Amino acid sequence: MYTQALNQADTGSKLVEDADKLARFEAKIDAEERIEPNDWMPEAYRRTLVRQISQHAHSEIVGMLPEGNWITRAPTLRRKAALIAKVQDEGGHGLYLYAAAETLGVSREELIDQLLSGRAKYSSIFNYPTLTWADIGCIGWLVDGAAIMNQIPLCRTSYGPYARAMIRICKEESFHQRQGYEIMLTLCRGSAEQKAMAQDALNRWWWPALMMFGPPDAASVHTEQSMRWKIKRFTNDALRQQFVDATVPQAHFLGLTIPDPDLRYDEASGHWRFGAIDWEEFRQVLAGNGPCNRERMEARRRAHEEGAWVREAALAHAAKRRARAAAKIAAE
């Protein structure tokens, strides 16, 4: 009886303490201060960030595959060098992001295991195939372009390590976008066949690129809370509109047609209004039924297995160095 009363008092004081911590946490967010790894944070904030940052990291890593596919077939040495650099950048983005997620108390092994076992999501866009060289142009122009739209506001996200990782990532993404657009420009100024190849790639990538911003606001489960915690700064629909407004004039400059019969410029609002997105296709791709889901996961699993010896060697090397350092200290 006595213990029970004591426990109740304990729980009561813990609740008061938590309310206090929560108030301090929210005041910090309101004041636009960053939350750092050692700061107290609500469990749901931590979980949301782990989910978002790791999905982002997985997308960078899986995103290396469709483009890696074209490194050996790039049309010139200059194109090949730029593509290798870009794919390598994406690997680096994955690295910064896994490291940022690790500051939230989750290990990289755990995150990779979630990806390889199919429990974690990555961006739906990387489940589409890269059929021609123009697809590499379209990915840089549209996919990296959409990524920039999404990620620039994340440079001001409330979690410090994530915001800092995004600053560096965004600088590299803008190079990716430019190299993609330059490929498109070259194709569109080339032969009729090259221009047709560029148009065909745009036809296939346009709608999946719009889906990259996620479900419409009305159907987005995480948006409201994430906006309140300043993890997210703009809604999916707002970012999608911003992307369309920026991209339509770029397509016109290329002399290409956006594959949307409903696309029209709305003078009153100054926005490009676009047709309905096929959300059923989006759901299918997320559910694992996109054109390349199986192939992408197989490639990741194979890379993980084939890289096992590298991880083992690195661990053995680190253990040897630690032992040597310990022996040196002992001898002093």
Binding site for Fe ion (CB under 5 A): 60, 90, 93, 144, 173, 176
C-beta of 238: minimal distance to Fe ion in Å? 22
C-beta of 8: minimal distance to Fe ion in Å? 51
By beta-carbon proximity to Fe ion, the closer residue of 173 and 260 is 173
Cβ count within 10 A of residue 206: 21
C-beta of 2: minimal distance to Fe ion in Å? 59
C-beta of 79: minimal distance to Fe ion in Å? 16
DSSP-derived secondary structure letter, 266: E
Cβ count within 10 A of residue 9: 10
Say how far apart CA 298 and CA 292 lie, in whole Å.
Answer: 10
Best CA proximity match to 186, nearest among 131, 260, 255, 89: 255
**What burial class does residue 139 get, using C-beta atoms within 10 Å of its C-beta: 0-12 exposed, 13-18 middle, 19+ buried?**
buried
Cβ atoms of residues 155 and 163 within 8 Å:
yes
Cβ-proximal residues to 28 (8 Å cutoff; 6+ apart), any chain: 35, 39
The one-letter code for the residue type at 176 is H
C-beta of 326: minimal distance to Fe ion in Å? 39
Cβ-proximal residues to 320 (8 Å cutoff; 6+ apart), any chain: none
Cβ atoms of residues 132 and 201 within 8 Å:
yes
By beta-carbon proximity to Fe ion, the closer residue of 45 and 213 is 213
By beta-carbon proximity to Fe ion, the closer residue of 176 and 230 is 176
By beta-carbon proximity to Fe ion, the closer residue of 135 and 260 is 135
Cβ atoms of residues 236 and 215 within 8 Å:
yes
By beta-carbon proximity to Fe ion, the closer residue of 35 and 101 is 101
C-beta of 277: minimal distance to Fe ion in Å? 23
